[in-house]
Amino acid sequence: MKICPVVLQPTPQPPVVDGLAFILALSYGRLDQDAVLQKLRSRIVKLIEAGTCERAYLGKSRYRENFRILLGGGSKALVQIGAVDTVRQKGGIRIECNPAKFADGDAQKIHRVMRSLIGRHEYNELMRRPLLNVIHFAVDIYHAALNRMLVRYDNGQRMSVMAKRVGKGGFIEGYNFGSVSSDYETTAYNKQQELVHTAILAIAQSGSSGFNDDPLKANKIKQLKRVLGGPEIVRVEVRGKKMRGLPLWKLSRQTNRFARFHFADLSDGGTELDPLTEKSFLAMCRQDGVKAALEAFKHTEHARKVHALWRRRQAVWWQPEELWQQACDALRDTGMFPPEAFDPPNSQAEQP
């Protein structure tokens, strides 16, 4: 008796904050800033000597001091202080981190280091009105594979730019939507493949000897086995690359770009199209995008059937209406900002 494998329904997970950069409006005139930086440099050197931070070498930078705070979860927070252009740049401090990689206490460590540098009162006041520079939100869909779905992204422009990444086996690893110059970039990609690449790279960097004796190396092997034995994952990301100094209280009012994604679930098989038409339509969707494929079939004898296929296969598990608000709530939960940072200003005079 043939046993059919159990196909689990794709399940979106709660959104996470996968990238964050913000600026603090610490502003001085050029001469005053020089005096402040002179004091901060000695403190930064002490933090580096203590192993709390490390110097960041960024090449061309818009800030005069660049260093990283070493965090317990293995990630690092980039801190940049002293705007080169004190007139055009909105803030004298820029902090960049990835809250999705935080371990317990990492946010608090960033706060401790920054308070030790610029003072508790000054830092606490600045953190009440941070300005967003970059924000990345991500939703992982467990038990999902790009080769078993079609992806469409809608926007208000006439043309949607789509790029795709294809692996050596011919399978699509991801789609990117939007142009390089866009304020936002959106993407859907094979997260499990990325996790495998990361785990293999970590093993390679740790060396080839002594795996059984080195607990750290042995742990990397366990992580790789866990990824290989885990569920397939598709990650959907909305990346705000140019937030232009957006106050936190305005973030939840931005367009819900998760709602622009549409997925057709092909995991059940059978499309009611003849094999050649089905293969042609699916290939065109993956090559040129769903919108272009539907348009190409518009005046053919198969137009009604391919449109019906797209409508019938809309993924019932993708319910994006609340995802943007949930993502904003996830930012609150990172511990990076005090609750009042998300509140609108009390008076018109305080508005940016």
Domain that residue 54 falls in: 26-128
pLDDT at 91: 73
Residue 61 within a domain: yes
Mean pLDDT by 10 residues, the chain (352 residues): 67 98 80 80 96 94 94 95 80 94 97 96 96 98 90 67 59 80 90 65 58 56 59 93 96 97 84 85 88 92 92 94 98 97 73 48
Task: Give the sign of the dihedral formed by CA 52, CA 55, CA 56, CA 62.
Answer: positive
Please identify which residue in the block is written with the tokens 């003849």. 274
Q: Are 187 and 163 in contact (CB under 8 A)?
A: no
Residue 33 in any domain: the answer is yes
Name every residue whose Cβ is closer than 8 Å to that of residue 220 and which is 6 or more positions away in sequence: 199, 202, 203, 206
Q: Assign residue 51 a region: left if phi > 0, alpha if psi is -120 to 50, beta otherwise?
A: left
Does residue 82 lie in a domain region? yes
Whole-angstrom CA distances from 218 to 102, 194, 198, 200 are 22, 20, 15, 13
Q: What is the structure's pLDDT at 89?
A: 76
Residue 73 falls within a domain, yes or no?
Answer: yes
Quick one: pLDDT at residue 348?
41
- Tokens (6 digits) for 91: 């803030």
Residue 63 belongs to a domain with what CATH number? Answer: 3.30.160
pLDDT at 159 (0 to 100): 41
Query: Token pair for residue 106?
Result: 């990492």
Q: What is the pLDDT of residue 305?
A: 92
Residue corresponding to tokens 């939960």: 333
In-domain check, residue 72 = yes
Residue 267 lies in a domain: no
Of residues 27, 23, 16, the one with CA closest to residue 95: 23
Whether 70 is covered by a domain: the verdict is yes
pLDDT confidence of residue 260 = 95
Total domains in the fold of the chain: 1
Bridge-based pairing state of the strands 53-55 and 11-12: unpaired
Q: Does residue 255 form part of some domain?
A: no
